[in-house]
Homo-oligomer: A and B are copies of this chain.
Amino acid sequence: MIDRAGLEVLSEEECFRLLTKAPIGRIVFTDRALPAIQPVNFAVHDRAVIIRVAANSRLATAASNAVVAFEVDEFDRDGGTRTGWDVVVVGHAAPITDPDQLREARQLDLRPWAPGIREHYIRIDLRMISGRRILPAADGGTA
């Protein structure tokens, strides 16, 4: 299916597959009434995005019982083909406090890229997931 912007609308299954493969995502939230975004590495588990954060961090505060967006994408960096895709999740974010869920989260392959101790886990429900792909231009991408 093509949307009104001319982009291919990805199926939920395809969105989920792309999300699972991505090494880095971006969490979108509100920080002191301003839009904020932060790249994080993550795991997908039990129909949720799981991230690790430091206690008292900006992210731990912002993603505590709030609706956030979470985005992954991949674009042709050199721009030669001008193609790419993005997948966006919108869902409720909350710290994992249940002992069983916390045990499961700790067993995920989720080592933070950034240094420092990050022993809080945030769970973002995959309630809404959508994605789009930019198809190669009909003109072959000539400028």
Binding site for B on A (CB under 8 A): 5-7, 23-24, 26, 28-30, 34-39, 54, 57, 67-69, 71, 73-79, 82-84, 86, 88, 90, 111, 113-116, 134-135, 137-138, 143
Contact = CB atoms under 8 A, between A and B. Distances in A.
A57 B7 CA distance: 13
A47 to B, nearest CB: 19
Contact of A114 (B5, B54, B74): B5
Q: How many copies of this chain?
A: 2
Contact of A6 (B26, B83, B116): B116
Contact of A35 (B23, B28, B78): B28
Given A35-B90, A36-B90, A38-B86, 12 more contacts: A5-B57, A5-B115, A23-B76, A23-B78, A28-B36, A35-B35, A36-B69, A37-B37, A37-B71, A39-B73, A39-B86, A74-B77
